[in-house]
Structure 1
Amino acid sequence: MIALFGRDCSPVAWLHDSGNIFDQDLKFVALVRGGNVFRAFDVAWLGPVDHTTLMDRTGLPVTFGNGYAPKSRLAPLEPVQPLKPLKPLQPLRPLPPPTPLVPLVPLGGWSALDFDEYLRS
Structure 2
Amino acid sequence: MEPLFSKDCDLVGWLDPGHNIFDTNMEYVAFISGGHAWSATSGNWLGSIDYTTARDKRGCPVLFSPGHPATGTSVPPIPSRPARPSRPSRPSRPSTPSRPSRQSTPAGGWSKLSFRDWLAS
For normalisation by structure 1, the TM-score amounts to 0.97
**Match of residue 25 from structure 2:** 25
Alpha-carbon distance in 2 for matches of 1:88, 1:112: 29
**Match of residue 14 from structure 2:** 14
Matched-pair contact (CA < 8 Å) for 1:42–1:84: no
CA RMSD in angstroms comes to: 0.9
Equivalent residue runs for 1:1-121 within 5 Å: 1-17=1-17, 19-121=19-121
Deviation of 1:18 after TM superposition, in Å, equals 5.3
Matched-pair contact (CA < 8 Å) for 2:17–2:52: no
- Identity among equivalent positions (%) equals 40
Alpha-carbon distance in 1 for matches of 2:116, 2:17: 22
Matched residue SS, 1:117: helix
Letter in 1 for 2:15: L
Cα deviation digits, residues 14-55 of structure 1 (max 9, x gap): 001451100011000001110000001121100001011100
Deviation of 1:67 after TM superposition, in Å, equals 1.8
Deviation of 1:87 after TM superposition, in Å, equals 1.1
Letter in 1 for 2:89: L
How many residue pairs get aligned? The number is 121
Alpha-carbon distance in 1 for matches of 2:102, 2:17: 24
Change over 3 Å in CA distance of 1:17–1:67 after alignment to 2: closer
Alpha-carbon distance in 2 for matches of 1:25, 1:34: 26
Matched-pair contact (CA < 8 Å) for 2:12–2:115: yes
Alpha-carbon distance in 2 for matches of 1:95, 1:17: 17
For normalisation by structure 2, the TM-score amounts to 0.97
Consecutive aligned runs of 4 or more in structure 1 exceeding 3 Å deviation: none
